[in-house]
Structure 1
Amino acid sequence: MPKLGELVLLVSPRGKRYMRRVEPDNDIHGTDGLLKMADIMSAGYGSIVHTHKGKPYRVQRPTLHDLVKGVKRQTQVIYPKDIGYICMKLGVGNGVKVIEAGSGSGSLTLALSWFAGERGQIHTHEAREEFMNLCRRNLDWAGVGQNVTLYHHDIANGFLVNDADALFLDVRDPWEYVRHIPAAIRPGAVCGFLVPTIDQVSSLLVELEKGPFDEVEVSELLLRGWKAVPDRMRPNDRMIAHTGFLIFCRHQEGLEQVKAQVSLGTRERKQEAARLERMAASRSEDHDIAGDDLSDADGDNGDE
């Protein structure tokens, strides 16, 4: 039976879903009539309750999917279809320590907290205070977040924790922060990123190939439902298509030793030559920038 303070999911005869907190007098008033919370509490999960007009409502326990879909939003949220894969790839489980940046409305943070369990730790960074506060409110609303620490912090200066088992960035320009990742994670940790456009993917890959990262994967998940009618099975007219590109990699030191033992074919040799050319160009650019900064510092003698 639903207990005081819990969330309960109520489904109308037409399939409309209502999430309500179990509190005295928190009744539902709608076109189907009055649905009393006292009746919901006495009915229990998996049962049917009726409004004063006799309309039947199903009483259900909310799933993680329901909670993620029900968060209050001020930002674009990560969809459940992506969240499941993210948590699997990062290896999130009871006792795992995860760093997140880009808390936003907290849909992924909610799921990370759920999977990390009582012994897990989620450390999420958000540069905008209003989003950090919204994330905390959504965690409290969902009844999770006891294992979550929120930081009002811009990761341009690095992360506020280290020794993490996994890391995930949902920020506009993740390539700008890759250099801070090795100091924040354990050797061999898995890192993930989400970006909406292919140009962002390319910029991130260029930075990741500088190392120390291996096993780079780029994925896009599309979810197409089917009409569940046995004698007329066919796809739904609409689907959840592109929501973002997922990029994963694993921290790995000593990659040059491994690559030296790999026999490359013609295509692989061309790809490796292109990579080395990009690396050389990047080092040259970094050297030029450092030289310009030094010149500026030498020329600034305070003279008017």
Structure 2
Amino acid sequence: MAMMVPLDSANKISFNRPISDGDTVIVYERHDSMRAVKVTPGSDLQNRFGLFKHSDWIGKPFGSKVFSNKRGFVFLLAPTPELWTLVLSHRTQILYLPDISFLISYLEIVPGCVVLESGTGSGSLSTSLARAVAPSGHVFTFDFHEQRASSARADFERNGLSSLITVSVRDIQGEGFPEEHEGRVDAVFLDLPQPWLAVPSASKCLKPDAVLCSFSPCIEQVQRTCETLRQSFSDIRTFEVLVRSYEIREQHFAKRVPEEDGSPVGPPPQKRKQSALTATKSEKTESNISVMAKPCNTARGHTGYLTFGRLTVL
């Protein structure tokens, strides 16, 4: 079985082991081109860089650079939750790293915590939650759609997370969370069309002073959720997490310099449109290299609003 979160003898998350038959690795071509591959002896991976044999990967450490028959190369990365979020199959809209990291921190999730999540969706957040609560905590995640729940369960089993995540089919908006969780939960996360319907049930499950988070794409959903939260929660806050990415690259500039005999350096400034290759014979050129930074054109904008509330102790 592939291991997304392998545990060593001390029950700590670790990838300090060789790649084995059946492991899932992230084949990294570049930051915007990667895929999850199950290592299977006798199988091959073919891409624009050539043909890669799975058998050549076995025994190498995660992070290895491997070469194809054409001397192209890729990197074999450990399938961390961050990378899994970038390569998983999208059965629903997913949460990405900025929202995930923010909410795990604000929910105060640490190893040993018990977390309720609804709905499961594609399992992006569930995977990160599992690592946050490992090795002794647990994530109970619910989805009303049986096929989505089944697919997520298969992914968790494939990635070695079954001991940390339990997937159930349940309509949390209509039925609420199971009574067995009442008073035993450290954090609740809701990703539902009508999260306010699940707030009363969530409040019964949370321990005193624990935190709930609701993710909603529309501000109207946030407003109605906050109205319901005020009945049992305090310190209610809403955040929109926006991240701006930058592209860093080298830029080469041609600089004209005079000849040793003092000849002019070239035409007047208004005519300096010719390249170094078409410079006059009285000119020499040398290349200057500068590091350029500019915002990426593909930066992701609004994903949704994160609303938090802390259960009031009366």
Same fold (TM over 0.5): yes
Is 1:30 aligned to 2:47, yes or no? yes
Give the structure, 1 or 2, with the largest relative contact order (CA under 8 Å, sep 6 or more): 2
Equivalent residue for 1:115, pick from 119, 125, 132? 132
CA distance in 2, matches of 1:131, 1:45: 30
Match of residue 158 from structure 1: 176
CA distance in 2, matches of 1:233, 1:191: 39
CA distance in 2, matches of 1:216, 1:172: 19
Q: Deviations over 1:166-207 (max 9, x none)?
A: 111100001112222221111111000000001111111111
Is 1:78 aligned to 2:95, yes or no? yes
Deviation at 1:5, TM superposition (A): 2.1
Deviation at 1:63, TM superposition (A): 2.5
CA distance in 1, matches of 2:138, 2:64: 36
Query: Which residues of structure 1 form unaligned runs of 5+?
Result: 255-304
Deviation at 1:13, TM superposition (A): 7.0
Q: CA 1:14–1:189 in structure 2 vs 1: closer, same or farther (change >3 Å)?
A: closer
Name the % identity.
27
Deviation at 1:68, TM superposition (A): 1.8
Q: CA 1:52–1:131 in structure 2 vs 1: closer, same or farther (change >3 Å)?
A: same
Equivalent residue for 2:56, pick from 33, 36, 39? 39
Is 1:184 aligned to 2:202, yes or no? no
Query: Which residues of structure 2 form unaligned runs of 5+?
Result: 1-17, 251-290
Is 1:243 aligned to 2:243, yes or no? no
Q: CA 1:16–1:105 in structure 2 vs 1: closer, same or farther (change >3 Å)?
A: closer
Match of residue 71 from structure 2: 54
Q: CA 1:106–1:228 in structure 2 vs 1: closer, same or farther (change >3 Å)?
A: same
Residues 102 and 124, structure 1, Cα contact 8 Å, conserved in 2: yes
One-letter amino acid of the structure 1 residue matched with residue 303 of structure 2: T
Residues 34 and 87, structure 2, Cα contact 8 Å, conserved in 1: no
One-letter amino acid of the structure 2 residue matched with residue 229 of structure 1: R
Q: CA 1:57–1:223 in structure 2 vs 1: closer, same or farther (change >3 Å)?
A: same
Match of residue 63 from structure 1: 80
Equivalent residue for 1:139, pick from 149, 156, 160? 156
CA distance in 1, matches of 2:30, 2:79: 18
SS in 2 for 1:12: strand
TM normalised by structure 1 equals 0.78
Give the length in aligned residue pairs. 253
Match of residue 232 from structure 1: 292
CA distance in 2, matches of 1:18, 1:180: 39
Deviation at 1:43, TM superposition (A): 4.2
Deviation at 1:95, TM superposition (A): 0.8
Match of residue 265 from structure 1: none
Larger Rg: 2
Match of residue 193 from structure 1: 214
Equivalent residue for 1:12, pick from 29, 53, 57? 29
Is 1:219 aligned to 2:279, yes or no? no
Q: Deviations over 1:242-272 (max 9, x none)?
A: 0010000100033xxxxxxxxxxxxxxxxxx
Deviation at 1:118, TM superposition (A): 2.1
One-letter amino acid of the structure 2 residue matched with residue 158 of structure 1: G
Q: Deviations over 1:141-166 (max 9, x none)?
A: 33323121222111222211221011
Q: CA 1:56–1:217 in structure 2 vs 1: closer, same or farther (change >3 Å)?
A: same
RMSD: 1.8
Write 1 or 2 for the structure with the bigger share of strand.
Answer: 2
CA distance in 1, matches of 2:62, 2:121: 32
CA distance in 2, matches of 1:13, 1:173: 39
SS in 1 for 2:196: helix
Residues 11 and 59, structure 1, Cα contact 8 Å, conserved in 2: yes
Is 1:169 aligned to 2:229, yes or no? no
Deviation at 1:14, TM superposition (A): 9.1
CA distance in 2, matches of 1:182, 1:43: 48
CA distance in 1, matches of 2:68, 2:293: 34
Match of residue 302 from structure 1: none
Counterparts of 1:278-289 in structure 2, within 5 Å, are: none
Q: CA 1:149–1:42 in structure 2 vs 1: closer, same or farther (change >3 Å)?
A: closer
Which has the larger displacement, 122-131 or 17-26?
17-26
Residues 83 and 111, structure 1, Cα contact 8 Å, conserved in 2: yes
